[in-house]
Amino acid sequence: MDYCPSYLTSDAPKPLKFVKFAIQINSAPWESQGGDTAYQFSRAALKLGHEIVRIFFYYEGAYHGMRWMAPPEDEKPLLQRWSALAAEQGVDLVICISAAHRRGLLEQTEATRMGKIDNDLADGFRIAGLGLWVDACLKADRFLVFGV
């Protein structure tokens, strides 16, 4: 009789490999489909049981976290979708501090430090440095970049 490993003949389902993803978004919400594609991918991955270590908004992607963004009614409400993803799934949404400051995007603490009264950061987002992107890439099995 030929030897055949039991896992090849078993009817038992094979264990799934869940993947940890780090996601970077480089384009503004109105600039390309990158942000929406990243959002759709993130929702689908979480639904399948995968983990999103962190979503890092870089370059023009920083605009995704602007509290006062008001796109036309016929466009997808990406800001509300990102905020809901953070609230419902606990996804860490981080905006690069350099990209945020270049675009005038300030959180309350930083605005106070700079003598300004703004709080431009939308719910669910935080501002931090590139070190958190490096940390996410080290913890993730895969990293994906969306946008230009």
Neighbours of 4 (CB within 10 A): 8
Active site residues: 96
Interatomic CA distance for residues 36 and 76, integer angstroms: 8
Q: Which two tokens stand for residue 55?
A: 């979503």
Neighbours of 97 (CB within 10 A): 18
Interatomic CA distance for residues 50 and 19, integer angstroms: 5
Give buried/exposed letters for 54-69 (b at 16+ CB in 10 A, else e): bbbbbbbbbbbbbeeb
